Amino acid sequence: MTARAGDARPSGPPAVIRESLQGKYSGFASRFTAFAVDVGASLGVYMLALAAISFAARVLTGKDITWNKGDIWVIITFSVWEFIYFAYSWAASGRTAGMALFGVRVVRDDGTDASARRAIVRTLAFPLSFLFLGLGFAGILLGGRRRALHDVIAGTAVIYSWDARAARLRFLSKS
């Protein structure tokens, strides 16, 4: 995929997507960027909800409510919201909004759909992967099945779910 200096070819899909990637274990960049999008999206929705509550309180009572990120209620409600966001998404369809955007999906380690129980366990185990400078994520880079610590605990894996071959054909039809 690396282009040599002076290579004048137009930037297209990488060589790896000459074949469909569907079902193959997803790599680090796809998973990380999907997670970053999810954090942004869920945080945005949460802040919008707080703003809506503040606005409603001002209209109904005439008093302003201010939220500090150190407030225990803010921490608790944000944690609950994040849990619901990730656990529900993984249980319902195997993917969050960010994962849908980047074409990756959570499945059981044998490839079948992840159950609600596994989705909940995965969500609860997810913070453990951040411990010890994110050592739990090393499995994505080094493991044969690209599984992080929370994947191993929940018995799940993350696979590519988009049809890369069709994307390449679309690209070729327009070039």
Partner 1 sequence: MIPRSETWAQAAAERAIELVVSALDVNALLDDVDLNALLDQVDINRLLDRIDLNRLLKRMDLNDVVEHIDIEALVDQTDLGAIIAASSSGAASDVLDAVRSQTVGLDEFIARWIGRLRRRPYTGPPGPPDRLRPRAGP
**Got the DSSP string for 33-69?**
HHHHHHHHHHHHHHHHHHHHHHHHHHHHHS------T
- Per-residue binding string, partner 1, 2-31, x by CB under 8 A, is x---------xxx-xx---xxxxxxxxxx-
Q: Does 121 bind partner 1 (CB under 8 A)?
A: no
Which token pair is 98?
């960010």
Choose between 54 and 143: whose C-beta lies nearer to partner 1. Answer: 143
Q: Does 101 bind partner 1 (CB under 8 A)?
A: yes
Kindly tell me the number of DSSP H helices and DSSP E strands found in the chain. 8, 2
Q: Candidates 48-56, 58-66, 89-97, 140-148 — which segment interacts with partner 1 by CB under 8 A?
A: 140-148
Among 5, 69, 142, 175, indicate the residue that binds partner 1 (CB under 8 A). Answer: 142
Nearest to 105 by CA among 34, 38, 40: 34
Nearest to 107 by CA among 98, 96, 118: 118
Nearest to 161 by CA among 105, 89, 98: 105
In whole angstroms, what separates CA 157 from the centre of its chain?
A: 13
Among 86, 102, 126, 137, indicate the residue that binds partner 1 (CB under 8 A). Answer: 102
Q: Does 141 bind partner 1 (CB under 8 A)?
A: yes
Q: Does 146 bind partner 1 (CB under 8 A)?
A: yes
Q: Does 145 bind partner 1 (CB under 8 A)?
A: yes
Residues that bind partner 1 (CB under 8 A): 1-2, 12-14, 16-17, 21-30, 33, 101-103, 107-112, 141-142, 144-146, 157, 159-160, 162-164, 166-167, 169-174
